[in-house]
Structure 1
């Protein structure tokens, strides 16, 4: 996934919310949140460039990474703009005091219209993939999500997912386990890739308490510019 057109830059960055302490952006499918072995410019650096330009900053821009999304996934990413906000946000996420809602498109109809999935996920670092088990195995971590069918399209089902835990590739892995791999997700069993190398998983909403103002915030990320996603909103 190296198409520059599928990545954010300081000119096209989609900012959903910003104040003195935090900035929330809508991640594109090609964005990597933090730097990795690919050497591609991470979204964190793009946001720094954006802030540097916007406020004519001469020195370094402070930006703290609070959480991540898988590279082929789209949607909400929250960053801290101050050293005061970062540890407070880290604590919110660690203590599961945030509500994260995802939308996913799957080809196969789930066994139930809504369900709570409980599995034990084990990550294989060699192929960067998790496997879901029905019972605990050595090195596995408990993973829980709730899903419901939000909409039935001509050939796909739109699922809304709320996470109770945050595990490696959790949604991708648990949905594949029930026979519903996400559209475009070759790694977890979908037969074809999406044209832009994305997978049809979108971090749709994030609800949390502002780390400094202490007020409740609810932010929704617009869906990708794609005919199938647009059908989900119509």
Structure 2
């Protein structure tokens, strides 16, 4: 495959992860982002041994968007610290069914991950292994698709939990379009859809110079096309 690389230097690269690809090393024979990035680095600069690729953050397999991968351990350490300190800003666009009660706000919940079923759910604070999940949202556009009212939401994560956006949106009454795991409408057998979620923007500080660097890309997928907000993106 041809990687869509938005930026690259000796320390890290910014790349667009396609929908349907694992963001880290996959256990199957299917392609994954780490393998593709390693292949790209080796092609540019063939050296003995396997290139180093540091995974800084993750995107769910059915979600596409902007990602950063480190090319050195020093860069990986710096970038990981930015994530832990919530200094790496990520903006997502999601298409949800219906319209949220409020046009903007914050959701604060506790999520519990079910490793057996690869899913998460909102639980009470006192539940063992429950983790705080917080995000802010803003409704930026509305549209109709296949006779259904949909809302385009801009979402900023304050924490990074398993399936966080998908779980919290569904839990608050507005599941994502196409989400076969958390939206009952798309759980029928034989249904094949992509989750209407895209990691559209990423802002970080360069791991060496400290310079603030923003990167963005327009959400891809048929479900995003009805929204005029994205026309001039």
* Structure 1 length-normalised TM: 0.88
Query: How far 1:57 moved relative to its partner?
Result: 4.1
Cross-structure match for 2:181? 187
Question: Pairwise mapping of residues 140-159 of structure 1 onto structure 2 (< 5 A)?
Answer: 140-154=130-144, 155-159=149-153
Correspondence 1:36 to 2:36: no
Query: How far 1:221 moved relative to its partner?
Result: 2.1
Correspondence 1:219 to 2:220: no
Question: Pairwise mapping of residues 59-208 of structure 1 onto structure 2 (< 5 A)?
Answer: 59-133=49-123, 135-154=125-144, 155-192=149-186, 197-208=193-204
The 1-side partners of 2:69 and 2:35 are apart by: 11
Distance change >3 Å, CA 43–CA 196, structure 1 → 2: farther
Query: How far 1:108 moved relative to its partner?
Result: 1.4
The 2-side partners of 1:16 and 1:231 are apart by: 26
SS in structure 2 at match of 1:143: strand
Query: How far 1:133 moved relative to its partner?
Result: 2.7
Residue 109 of structure 2 contacts residue 132 of structure 2 at CA under 8 Å; is this kept in 1? Answer: yes
The 1-side partners of 2:157 and 2:222 are apart by: 26
Unmatched 5+ residue regions in structure 2?
A: none
Root mean square deviation of aligned Cα:
1.9
Query: How far 1:138 moved relative to its partner?
Result: 2.2
The 1-side partners of 2:199 and 2:5 are apart by: 14
Count of aligned positions:
223
Unmatched 5+ residue regions in structure 1?
A: 1-8
SS in structure 2 at match of 1:35: coil
Residue 182 of structure 1 contacts residue 190 of structure 1 at CA under 8 Å; is this kept in 2? Answer: no
* Structure 2 length-normalised TM: 0.89
Distance change >3 Å, CA 123–CA 151, structure 1 → 2: same
Distance change >3 Å, CA 60–CA 37, structure 1 → 2: closer
SS in structure 2 at match of 1:78: strand
